[in-house]
Amino acid sequence: MARGTLTACVVLAVLGGVRAQEAIDEGGPRTRTARPARRVLRAGAAATDITPTQFPVHMPGLARKNLAQGVHDPLHARALVLDDGATTIAVVVVDNIGVRRDAGDRIRPIVTERCGIAPDKILIASTHTHSAPDAYLRKGAIEAVAYGPVLIEGVADAIVRAHAALRPAAIGHAVHQLPEEVFNRRWFLKPGKMQPNPFGEMDQVKMNPPNSPDVLLRPAGPTDPDITILSVRDAMSRQPLALLANYALHYVGYTPKAKISADYFGVFAQLISSRLGAGEDFVAMMSNGASGDINNRPTGSSRPSRKPFEQIRIVAQGAADAAHRAYETIGEHRIDVRVGMIQRQTTLHRRRPTPEQVERAKAFLAVTGKDERAKLPRGAQRYARSTLAYAKARPTIDVTLQAFCVGDLGVCAIPFEAFAEVGLELKRRSPFPRTMVIGIANDKAGYLPTPDQHKLGGYETWLGTSRVQPEASIVVTDQLLEMLRELAQEG
């Protein structure tokens, strides 16, 4: 018997068992041959175009005004819905720098009303492309407020259509490494090479320092080279249905000037479809990992100059090749897997400036002359305003953490730009044999360094870029591991 025919027979047999059990549950006749129902996974996937149509629109990925005048390549919300008969979950990856919590709070009720997926079973992750518009729902530039409904409706639509496409499915997962495209961007510099930070203080490390041997000493942390994939096939035809990938790379950049772009995440989705020989209904998505201190800039070595978008294609091709190699190692796609998801709200303490930092901030803001301002540390007045704002802000922040499992694959979702060390520790301590860590999920809550990285300073630890207590990564890690253990025990 051909393998495809055998798979179809197995699926039909399992479905038949489920129907028999349903008849028993509904009061139908019990027979001596009736057996407990087996899990039958169903999956559906869909992608919705969320490219803005009103221009100019601000792309907030840079620390300056950056107006897009047109589109280089489209933005999408790509959704995957999984249902094991007891639990239905949705994972959507959005081409955006960060879908804020208030937007997610608008999206979830729409999805629940239209297709019944519970709000706490919906994961909304952002790719963190820096060449996409922000979406403000109330305050902000007119075009950003106008884009808010486009984003909300587009994300909800992708999930609802994915749910409508549910069909018997089989899943597998694997990992392949791509170390040559990830670099730790925080570096120790040689003595005497560090300049004061915007607070007038001296850090021990610098983000993206000059690429000079006279300046560089060593990177301040590790990288995570894994490309982890969750592969979903149609159980009857065995054709690829969806693929969720994950890589701890902040983004690539070098996009065409003043153009909207999904960065390498969008190109990857196209290329992996070709690699797998998938059909038109196939949906691929690349999620961002724990990449808060990781980029694609090879500090300490040279690289040929690139034309706009060229480096994006190079990274996307490497990622697609690695994902394809991982796919080829999957021994079996299974149909009888459990799906589970846990969501928890965690309260963290907000960063507070010291009295000395407050007084220094006031002094920086009191400087008005152009020549005098030029003598201040770079960004001093901008961060001074942030310092005073944090001194008055409420003392705590509530964040959403999620963990889910598909068979023996565990997945963590963090609303921060977590450092690579956080992701590596979650993978190392997870009770699941393989774990994926998705960052910038369910909010855009700032950077999440470890306590030791906080001590070193640098951009990612500054008040305003990192919003929560220095020990927050420990709290988040412990919570997620507890949630993963709970999911593992339920299995």
Chain segment 273-329, per-residue pLDDT in tens:
999 999 999 999 999 999 999 999 999 888 999 999 999 999 999 999 999 999 999
Band of the pLDDT at 141, cuts 50, 70, 90? low
Q: What are phi and psi of 57, to 5 degrees?
A: -140, 140
Whether 208 maps to a domain, the answer reads: no
Give which of 401, 436, 414 is closest to 128, Cα–Cα.
414
Band of the pLDDT at 19, cuts 50, 70, 90? very low
Whether 191 maps to a domain, the answer reads: no
Range(s) of the domain holding residue 12: 1-38
Residue 270: burial class (beta carbons within 10 Å; 0-12, 13-18, 19+): middle
Say how many C-beta atoms besides its own lie within 10 A of residue 417's C-beta: 26
Mean pLDDT of all residues belonging to the chain: 91
- Both 306 and 430 in one domain: the answer is yes
- Both 287 and 152 in one domain: the answer is yes
- Both 162 and 273 in one domain: the answer is yes
- Both 293 and 366 in one domain: the answer is no
Whether 400 maps to a domain, the answer reads: no
Rounded to an integer, the average pLDDT of 238-263 is 97
Residue 316: burial class (beta carbons within 10 Å; 0-12, 13-18, 19+): buried
Checking if the pLDDT of 265 tops 60, the result is: yes
CA distance 373 to 382: 12
Rounded to an integer, the average pLDDT of 383-399 is 95
pLDDT at 349: 97
**pLDDT above 90 coverage of the chain, percent:** 84
pTM of the full structure? 0.92
Model pLDDT for residues 425-482, shown as the tens digit of each residue: 999 999 999 999 999 999 999 999 999 999 999 999 999 899 999 999 999 999 999 9
Band of the pLDDT at 139, cuts 50, 70, 90? low
Residue 394: burial class (beta carbons within 10 Å; 0-12, 13-18, 19+): exposed
Judge whether 301 and 98 are in contact, CB under 8 Å: no
Whether 179 maps to a domain, the answer reads: yes
- Both 70 and 150 in one domain: the answer is yes
pLDDT at 138: 65
- Both 253 and 112 in one domain: the answer is yes
pLDDT at 82: 98
- Both 58 and 11 in one domain: the answer is no
Whether 298 maps to a domain, the answer reads: yes
CA distance 183 to 203: 20
- Both 375 and 410 in one domain: the answer is no
Antiparallel, parallel or unpaired: β 122-126 and 434-438: unpaired
Rounded to an integer, the average pLDDT of 257-266 is 96
Whether 118 maps to a domain, the answer reads: yes
CA distance 324 to 102: 36
pLDDT at 311: 98
- Both 325 and 358 in one domain: the answer is no
For the ranges 143-157, 351-365, 396-410, the lowest mean pLDDT is seen at 143-157
- Both 142 and 4 in one domain: the answer is no
72 vs 63, which has greater pLDDT?
72
Tokens of 149: 């409904």
Whether 468 maps to a domain, the answer reads: no
CA torsion 244→249→250→254, rounded to 10°? -100
pLDDT at 22: 34
Q: How many domains does the chain have?
A: 3
Whether 159 maps to a domain, the answer reads: yes
pLDDT at 58: 86
Model pLDDT for residues 192-226, shown as the tens digit of each residue: 999 999 999 999 999 999 999 999 999 999 999 99
Tokens of 442: 């369910």
Band of the pLDDT at 2, cuts 50, 70, 90? very low
- Both 372 and 295 in one domain: the answer is no
Element at 488 (helix H, strand E):
helix 472-490
Residue 332: burial class (beta carbons within 10 Å; 0-12, 13-18, 19+): exposed
- Both 69 and 100 in one domain: the answer is yes
For the ranges 23-32, 133-142, 299-308, the lowest mean pLDDT is seen at 23-32
